[in-house]
Structure formats: C-alpha cells, structure tokens
Amino acid sequence: MKKYVYSFGGGTADGDGKMKEVLGGKGAGLAEMSRAGVPVPPGFTVSTEVCNLYFENGNKVPAEIETQVAEALKKLESQLGKKLGDPENILLLSVRSGAKFSMPGMMNTILNLGLNDATTEALANKTNNPRFAYDCYRRFIQMFGEVALDIDMEHFDHIFDSRKAGAKVKLDTDLTADDLKAIIADYKKLVKKETGKEFPQDALEQLKMSRDAVFRSWNNPKAVYYRKMEKIPDNIGTAANVQAMVFGNMGDTSGTGVGFTRDPATGEKVFYGEYLLNAQGEDVVAGIRTPHPIADLEKEMPAVFKQLKEITDSLEKHYRDMQDFEFTIEDGKLYMLQTRNGKRTGPAAVRVAVEMCKEGLISKQESVQRVDPQQLDQLLHPVFDRASIKNLQKIATGIAASPGAAVGRAVFSADRAVDASKKSPVILIRKETTPDDIHGMDVARGILTAVGGKSSHAAVVARGMGRPCVVGASALHVEDRKGIATVTLADGKKLVIKEGDWVSFDGATAEVWLGQAKTNEPDPKSPVFATFMSWADEFRGGFGVRANADIPRDAIAARNFGAEGIGLCRTEHMFFAEDRIPHMQAMILARDEKSRRKALLKLLPMQRADFAGLFKAMNGFPVVIRTLDPPLHEFLPKREDLMVDLAKLPYADIKAKKEMSAKYRMPVGELKKNLPELLKRVEELHEFNPMLGHRGCRLGITYPEITEMQARAIFEAVVQVAKKGVKVIPEVMIPLIGNVKELAHQKEIVVRVADEVLGKAGLKKLKYYVGTMIEIPRAAITADQVATEAEFFSFGTNDLTQTTMGLSRDDYTKFSKEYQDKKIFPDDPFAVIDQGGVGKLIEMAVKLGRGTRPDLEVGICGEHGGEPSSVQFCYRAGMNYVSCSPYRVPIARLAAAQAAISGDSAESSRTK
Ligand code: ADP
Ligand code: MG
Ligand code: MG
C-alpha cells in the first residue's frame, strides 16, 4: 500500500528535505534536520496528498490511512516511552500545518494536544508545576476551540482578559495557577455553550479532530487569498505534522524564539532573532510581550546560545541559503522546531545572492537564479527626498522590518484600507497585524504597527510582498474602532492621527513622519546591485533589453538601468505637449493638403529636437520610432464640452470667455467663429469604435504628408547628431498594418525622404531600418508576406492581445475580477502573455517572418516586455530583444538571464 505517513526523529527519518511536495516545507525540514542529527522533537508527517483525499472523501480521512497514522503513533509512543492520553506517561503533541510553499500564519496549528482533566492533573503533579500544566491546558482548549470547533477567538479572549483584569495583572505570566484553573472552567463552559457538547476528553479523538481541522485550514479565506496573491496552486494541499511537544513555558529556564541567519530586510550577514522566556509557540510573533533580541540569550544561557548558533550556521551551509528558524528551550535544553529558506526583501535577496557567491556557498549561476525578477522592483523604487522630510514632524521610530519609502493616508483597518486605496495611497496602521489583515496589507503602500518585532506577522508578510513596513512603533496607541491613533511624542505631548491624515515612513530607518513626503529616484548604480546585474548580463548573452521611452529624460533613465536601445518611441506623446497641441489641432482642422502641410511644418522642428535628444541618449544603440498611431480626435476637445461652451458663449462674461480662450487655445475674438467650426470637425471625426478605426498606418495612408513630415524630422535629426559624432541606428516602425501593401505604401514614403535627407548630407551609407509593429492578427498570419517589406518586427502585444482576443483592455477591467475568480484566464492577459493564444500567433509570425527574411530582427514592445514569464516566453520564441518601461529594464535583464540559464530551474530554486 502507498505510504502516506512519514516518521521522523531520533537521528533518522522516513522522508528527507527534498520531499517538500509530499511532506510540505515544514515536514521536509523536520525530516532533514532529524537526519542531520539536529535535536528535533520526534513525530510523523501525514502527507499533503491526504489533505486532498480528505476533501474528496467527504471531509474524512480514508480508513487505510487512519491505520498508517495509528502505526506511526504507536511507534512514536514506544520511542518515547509515553502514551497519548495516559496520565501515567503523558504524551502531548502538536499538530502543525505546512504546505510545499510557506504560507506564514495562514493555516492552523494546535499545541498541547492530549491534555484533558486527568492528564492535566497528572502533569501538574509530575512536574510539580501546576501553573505550567494549567497554562498548557487553557492554551490547548483555546486553540482547539478556535481551530477544530470553530469558536470565535474573541470569546476566549474576553474570558481571558476579564480574568486578567479581575486578578489585576498586566502580563499573562503573572496569572496564578488558580487564575488559570478558573479560566479553564470558563473555557469549558464556553465550549459546551457553543457546540452543545463537552470539551472532548478522549486524546485520540482530539488528535483526529485536530488533524482534520489542519487540513480544512487549507481553505481558510486568508489562505486562499494568500495563494492567489503568491500564485500558489490551490490543489497541492497541506501536510499535517504530528510532533511531540517540548515546553518553553516551564519557567525561567525555558523559552521559545525565532530567528534568521542573516538580516531578512537588508541581507546583511548578522545573526538575527528574538526570544521570550517562559513562553510557548506563537507568543514571540504575536506581540503579546515584547521579545528580547537574540544577543541577550548569549548572556542568559551561553551554552544554549552557542549551540543554537552552531546549528543554524550549519543549517545555512547545508541548505546553501538564508534560514528562518524556530526553536524552543525546555528547561535548558535546546530543540529546533522549524527551518526554512527565509523570505526576504528584494534588496536582501540581491545582497544574500551576491555575498553567498563570494563566500563560495553558491555558484554565480545559482546566485543569478536566486532572485525573483519581480523582487528587483523594490530596488528600483523611489526613496525619500531628505529635504522634503525636514519640514515634516517626526512622530515615532519603530523597528525596520521591510525597506522602502511609504507615503499614504492613514487607515486603521484592513477593510478600510481596501476602500480608501481606491481613492488615494494608504498606509495601514495597526496595533499588530494578523493573517486576517492580508487584503488590507496587499493594497497598502506601507504597513505600520505599534507592537511586534522583526519576526512579527506584519514584518514577515510585508517582506514577502516587498511592501515597506515598520513594526514596534511603540509611541503609537492605535484605536481602530475610533479610527484614530494617539502618538506620545518624545517630549511627552500627545498628538492624534485621524483616518485620512498623510503619513510617511522609511522602512529602512524605521522613522515615521506626519505629512506627505516627496520621493526621489533610486540609484541603479549601487555596488551590490551593479555586481548582481553584471552577473546576470553574463548569462543573458546576446538577447537584448531595450526600453520604451518617448522623451530624452526617460531615455537617459533607461540607459542608467542598462537599456540597450529604445524599442518604442511613441511620437504622439510628443504632440500632446502644451506648446504643440495647437499646431496639431491646426493640422487636424485643415481642410486641404496645403494648409495641413503648413501646420505640419511648425511641428517638424519640435519633433526633430525630440528625436535628436533620444539619439544622443542612445549613442551606439538602436532607436525604434513609431509613426503617428492614435485616432486624431484624441487631440481635439470633447464633443460634449464644446456643445456646452457653445451654448454658454452668448451669455459669457469676459472672465468666462478668457477661460474658454485658454481652453481652446484661440483668441477671445475668434471664439464665436471658430468654436462651431471646431465642433463640426469633432463631429466629423467621431468614430463608433476608435480602437478599430481611422488610426495607425491608416492615418499615414490617407494623409501621407504626416508620415512624410515625421520621416523628415527623424532623418534630419539623424544628420544633426551624426555630424556631432553620435552613432545613430534609426528604425522607423509603421503601426497597425494588417496587409503588406499598407506597409509598402508607408515604407515608400519613409525611404524616399530618408534617402533624400541622408543623400543631401553626404550620409548615404548610414544604415537605417523600416519595419512594422505586429498588432493585428492578419499581420501575424501573413508574416511571410509582411517580411518581404519589413526589416524588423516588433510585437505590439497590448493591441495584439486586444485584437486577438476581441477584448478591449479598458473594458476588461470591469469584469476582470469575475474572470479571475472563476479562473477563466490563468492570468490577466494584458499583464502576462496569453501563451496559448496570442503566444501561438507570435511564434508562428516569428517563424514565417524569418522564413522570408532570415536576419529579420524581432522584438516585443508591449507592456508584457517587462513581465518575467513573458520575457522568458519571448526568449524561447527566438526574439532578439524585449522592450519595456525604463524601471522594468533590470527586471527584464534578469528574467532573460534566467531564461538563458533555463527558466524552469530558476523558478524552483527560489524561496516562495
Ligand atoms: P506556523 O506554520 O504558523 O509557523 P507552526 O506549526 O510552526 O506554525 O507552529 C506554531 C508555533 O508552535 C511555532 O512557534 C512552533 O515553534 C510552535 N510549536 C509547534 N510544534 C511544537 C512542539 N511540538 N513543541 C513546542 N512548540 C511547538
Ligand atoms: Mg512555524
Ligand atoms: Mg498599437
């Protein structure tokens, strides 16, 4: 029969560290640690498959698997000489969730299982520590009640807090054995009231119920949300780890803690961790008491500290990655309870990858594969403008949990964050976060908490999301019900933050300010980042990464980020500028070619100057310039506006007339004559479906003089900069063609003008290219014909996705949520290339095009060009380059490097 249950402990294990799929990450880690001789409490793992079988079998574990569980339990009992439910030889267990990918705090774990009235009394006697025994029992009833019996945690908290208030104590640890006994009695009453049954006394029944509850926690709403966010499949299930308990709550020679082998926020190689004495399980991360830094443990229990350091160092070497670990000290003896590759911020990921390679722990290739391209985003985002911060009031300093500059309006609950984030950026401020806050954390620009340390829930999750986060800002007193936070300032004065107030904080220095700070561009030249990117480029080889940039400023930024050319310059963006739109409008309003040419002549020098700037910034690299693309009415005022103003005009005073004159850019005296003209032309240009209307090459075909002017501006700019010694590689791109004849028509104009301008300047030999954007399915289908004219293809995947799927991008947002929830599309097709559809068309077009013209240059300029999985697709499809927004250039460089190394292995070698 198939094996579903895997034992571990005592220096051996049935499974090992590679079996994450079957054992889950936690189970695999426990098995691997056991094998390596690390002190781990023994136990067994019920495999992830059983989770699925449980659901398929009507929420019941199949009988033959129950037999395997019973056998594993018997083995554990005999190994320890203890027995579950036996007051003479008490065995207590934990049942812990743990899927293949770590989902911190999203699923459930139950501790101290096996306690009932009889075993609790026995434990009190045996340990001579009744307080400890009752503390364990009340914790168990509480966890079991919440997780297995679905009783609201608030009820338990209410009982607990009123007892605490009655006993007049501040800390949980100050409660006496009798207090705890009373709490237990109340808890049991609560269970009876809520479930109609007594709290189960049969330990075996407790075990089965707990295990099943852990399986069910796979479908907790927060777990489902987290999987969606992290793109973790829904069908892989969680394992249930059953493990002998060790106790950190036995008094002051016991404790529990968590830590990292390196700083997960910065990547610095420092031993990082926190612990609490006389505590159990989640106490450290829950922010109930403020934990001590791990350095204190060295003074308090030097031998334990030394052993912990040695074990975690060797775990890091063994796994060859930064470890995130949990430990418990029971009466001076150390136990390891978990180890995993630690989640880290983007900056930390890069630093750890570079330093581990330099330490000889991993190869350069592994180093490049270690960083998720998306994570680089965090290194490329703005940082605070120090000067703008000087004017703000600093209100608190907390603990730096996840770096980055965060600016937004204060909100105090996750639900409010979701609403408010639709209108403005928000900062989620909480006393502490819990897994129930995940949707609010997801939409917030930053997360700020009043309590908790670097390993608190807020910190761990924020780092995973790459969201700036400051925790433990103890000057804050958050009252979420009232929607305020009171801040005690350094001078003792109080200040109230209301919902909607601007707050800024720096996740790297943990400083918090009241007000809206300004931010500055990041530095792509920092040494660690530069080293890392240079390694990535070694693997990327000849596959290019260009940027989409319309103006010289963006082109310069793109070069700083390592762009090797411009893949798309949209010329119309230049026309929308303040000083140009009047000429553009004049051109559109012109009734005949002659007056159109007159207006175009005014635009020519402006375009020429823009192009010259781009060429200069891209010295030595190609620049793809697209001819005019959008429908002309986009340059004109709205029809409704015009009608309203026209109706108002006869009654307008001089102030109103001046406003109109500014709006329509015509002298006051001409309003009366020109406004009706303008309206008429706007109505003429009205289209029923502008996306599929008179745009793209269709404009250049009906108004060849526009293409001509643009070609002239391009090549005059070429001449201008080439004479100054700049190496120019111009590529002129004709948009929206569906038929090779459209391209031939436009190409003829471009070539004529280019040869004339270059010839006159004595630059006949200067090589330029004319090609096309592939964004209409027919162009892809007939790519063999198109390539007879085109010297390059650039896939305009925004429009190609719209036209292939018959789906308007702007309208899709209205129902995208349903499509995503129902999993109709695996991803947003406008963010991630639809490989099965649009992708097929692309592959076919590349093949057909190269069949006609083997040296055809092929790239992509849609927004997909900066999305890692799409970049890998483009690489595999045989493109020469991708082009994306300047800020995404490093992401694309890394994604391409990983594709070159082999995309699949990169993905699986990373910590999710
Ligand atoms: P999570 O996946 O949310 O981290 P865990 O299964 O790791 O949940 O358990 C929650 C807490 O309980 C952790 O602090 C862990 O160290 C502690 N814990 C789990 N099992 C045991 C055990 N057998 N003995 C002592 N502490 C335990
Ligand atoms: Mg854990
Ligand atoms: Mg387009």
Determine the residue of 34, 40, 241, 282 to mutate for testing ligand 1's pocket, defined as the one with the most ligand atoms within 8 A of the Cβ atom. Answer: 282
Q: Are strands 484-488 and 857-860 parallel, antiparallel or unpaired?
A: unpaired
Residue 690: the pLDDT is 87
**Ligand 3 geometric centre to CA of 797 (Å):** 8
Atom 26, ligand 1: residue with shortest CA distance: 281
- Pocket residues: Cβ below 6 A from ligand 1: 41, 94, 96-97, 105, 109, 111, 243-246, 281-282, 326, 328, 337-338
Query: What local confidence, expressed as pLDDT, does residue 904 receive?
Result: 45
Question: Within the chain, which residues score under 70 in pLDDT?
Answer: 287, 464, 903-912
In the chain, what are the helix, strand and coil shares in percent, each to the nearest 5? 50, 15, 30
Q: In this structure, which residue's CA is closest to atom 23 in ligand 1?
A: 245
How far is 624 from 794, CA to CA, in rounded Å?
9
- pTM (predicted TM-score): 0.81
* Structure token digits, residue 456: 């608190």
Q: Please give the distance, rounded to the nearest whole angstrom, from the Cα atom of residue 454 to the centre of ligand 2.
A: 15
Distance separating alpha carbons of residues 244 and 83, to the nearest angstrom:
11
Strands 426-430 and 446-449: parallel
- Beta strands (DSSP E) in 379-501 are 383-384, 393-397, 399-402, 405-411, 426-430, 446-449, 469-471, 476-479, 484-488, 494-498
- Measured from the alpha carbon of residue 548, the closest ligand is 3
pLDDT of residue 906: 45
- CA-proximal residue: ligand 1, atom 20 (nearest): 94
**Would you give the DSSP letter of residue 302?**
H
Per-residue pLDDT reduced to its tens digit, 730-741: 999 999 999 999
Conformational region of residue 515, where left means phi above 0, alpha means psi within -120 to 50, and beta covers everything else: left
Task: Please report, for residues 412, 461, 675, 907, the alpha-carbon distance to residue 419 in angstroms, rounded to integers and kept in the order given.
Answer: 12, 21, 42, 34
Token pair of 484 as six digits: 């305020």
Judging by beta carbons within 10 Å of its beta carbon (0-12, 13-18, 19+), is residue 816 exposed, middle or buried?
middle
Nearest CA to ligand 1 atom 11: 281
Probe residue for ligand 1, chosen from 92, 96, 249, 284 as the CB with the greatest number of ligand atoms within 8 Å: 96
Note whether 103 and 223 are within 8 A (CB): yes
Half-sphere exposure for 788 (CA within 13 Å, toward CB): 8
Which residues belong to the active site?
Answer: 457, 861
Q: Which residues of 102-137 are buried (b: 16+ CB within 10 A; e: fewer)?
A: bbbbbbbbbbbbbbbeebbebbbeebebbbbbbbbb
- DSSP H or E run through 258: strand 255-260
What pLDDT, on the 0 to 100 scale, is given for residue 911?
A: 52
Closest CA to ligand 1's atom 14: 281
What single string gives the DSSP state of each residue in 170-197?
SSGGG--HHHHHHHHHHHHHHHHHHHSS
**Nearest C-alpha neighbor of 445 from the set 426, 459, 465, 423:** 426
Mark the residues whose beta carbon lies below 5 A from ion ligand 2. 338
State in Å: Cα 799 to ligand 3 middle.
5
How close is the Cα of 280 to the center of ligand 1, in Å?
9
Q: Which atom of ligand 1 is nearest to the CA of 337?
A: 16
Which of 94, 260, 335, 436 gets mutated to test ligand 1 (max ligand atoms within 8 A of its CB)?
94
Q: List C-alpha distances in Å: 372 to 24, 269, 518, 724.
A: 21, 20, 28, 42
Ramachandran class of 413: left when φ > 0, alpha when ψ lies in -120 to 50, beta otherwise = beta
Closest listed ligand to the CA of 106: 1
Ligand with the closest atom to the CA of 285 = 1
Span from the CA of 743 to the centroid of ligand 2 (angstroms): 61
| Atom 9 of ligand 1: nearest residue by CA position | 109
Ligand 1 center–CA 477 separation, angstroms:
29
Distance CA 859, CA 870 (A): 12
